Chain A
């Protein structure tokens, strides 16, 4: 079925509108980050700052230990991503390939566990971590991020495993490969895009997470970036808008860079072999 030119134009217009909708908050953030206080108070806001300034960045760095906080965030997020993927990959394989009552129940519980609100678990979690002497430690926070990311990571990876045809494993077995060799040499490479996507999900979730970090970390030197960002916000939501925007802009950069670098590989990997030549 051929799409008419008008319909195609409409589709592109809708796509552009959607992209603009998605990009608006980020572009506004960038614009705000480079505006002076006077321009921020201007009754005629402009997208492109009339007198671009780096003062907001200077103030943000002067006021808060942004680099140190970013390093803490990086350690917690990267640690959580790696550990979550290492744990989730074999579990997801079992959940996808072994269709028993236990795996079905586990899958159901994974989905249900997503429904628990954060505030419900924070106090018990705090007490558990306190008994383990993991309060005020990045390792403790990383552990929480791993546990928090695992259900969705499992569910996501199980979907990727199901997409790998069982015949591929059977073919490997016929060729004489053992279970471990099949998993590491045949299944794992095919799962690579899924593993990367899941790792990214765990990374971004942990990188952006605020409440656990706020509650679990006490020492200022251990605070993560989202917590430090709130130090630009005062009572009743009044904010030091320029420095806040500058710091928030810098905080979004790692996620953007990681996605930009990895995105092509993910989609490329997902499509590999999808169509028979």
Chain B
């Protein structure tokens, strides 16, 4: 019925339709590239649009068209565009979303396209986030560590040592501090763990937790060892043993914890670095806040990140020109403008030296000091990770953090159930 109706209506509407073609235009020797940007904060949209304008002014033969994308549903939207051969030439995304597109042949291998300057400016550890198999399928350009945003007045009054990137808290010390700060209906920390898996796995790198282990045969298995248990156990014990972590925020998003933080209910909130923008905007007048490094473990301040990336569609007929635009967009000064707009850290070593990123204001200096410790998120190149995360790890971590199951049960589920899921993807 629907098919028949479709045919009928198609005929009807085709008569009325103002048809337009799509794709990558090249008219009269002038090339038009479509750049889909996911910038969303006013400052970053403005910075990105300005850069596009500057490019267009300097390159009359290669016009870049700014297309506003959205983080919401970007994966499905890109997948459909790729399948339909209508993808933008230059694609803004995040490294943890690239695996399927890279393995699916939708993205261009950038190794032969990028300039030496750009390749050498971004550290190898960042390039690893966009390397799938032998190819490089995106340029990692913005990243954010997880930091502790703290009520400075509260910490000062309590007389606790202020951690710095040079002398961070250890995980046991962090637990002690939150215990000391708690009491009277107030909590030392509020963990916003609506998405518990990425937060736990990324922070676990500090304790040497890898969780995913690749064997000699190239297959990945889950092993929830002692190092992997440090962070989850700390959070669990804070929430269920010490009562120094608010039990109500364990299912909340980062923004949801801010009213309680401003209201003096929580002394600290672990958040992504870019949340500072919201805090700066929403904090009550006179509210003193500071950015502290996340606790350190056996591997120091290491933590996993999935940087924002710029990729080029394999179908683009103008890859060289697209790569030149990416190179322009990610010149050190431009990378700084994008980073400031998004309140994130650039990956480029020269951009990271910019004085604007070393000011104490809004905690920039603390975040910048953490850049050298950021590693690829442990799971992003593991095939089957999204299913493992949604079906196994998320409910298991949620139950563990709420106190419904113990560490042994968590381990059992992550390993036994998890490896069954991963095995299906590695036959």
Residues of A within 8 A of B (CB): 37-38, 40-45, 59, 62-63, 83, 87, 106, 109-110, 113, 119, 122-123, 126-127, 130, 132-140, 142-143, 146-147, 150-151, 210-211, 214-215, 218-220, 223, 227, 230-241
Contacts and interface: CB of A to CB of B under 8 A. Distances in A.
A83 B9 contact: yes
B278 A238 contact: yes
Contact of A214 (B17, B70, B263): B70
Contact of B259 (A43, A87, A135, A231): A43
Interface residues of B, number: 62
B5 A130 contact: no
B425 interface: no
B263 A146 contact: no
Contacts, number: 163
**Interface secondary structure of A, over-half rule:** helix
Contact of B19 (A137, A146, A147, A150): A137
Interface in B57-76: 66-68, 70-73, 76
A238 B344 CA distance: 14
A218 B86 contact: yes
Nearest to B194: A237
A233 B262 contact: no
A231 B253 contact: no
B75 to A, nearest CB: 11
Contacts of A109: 1-2
Contacts of B255: 238-239, 241
Given A43-B260, A230-B72, A135 B282 contact: no
A214 B41 contact: no
B2 A215 contact: no
A230 B70 contact: yes
A232 B5 contact: no
Interface in B8-60: 8-10, 12-14, 16-22, 34, 38, 40-42, 45
Interface stretch (B77-85, B330-338, B386-394): B77-85
B86 to A, nearest CB: 6
Pick the 4 closest A-B CB pairs, nearest first: A43-B263, A41-B282, A139-B17, A230-B70
Given A123-B80, A147-B2, A220-B67, A134 B19 contact: yes
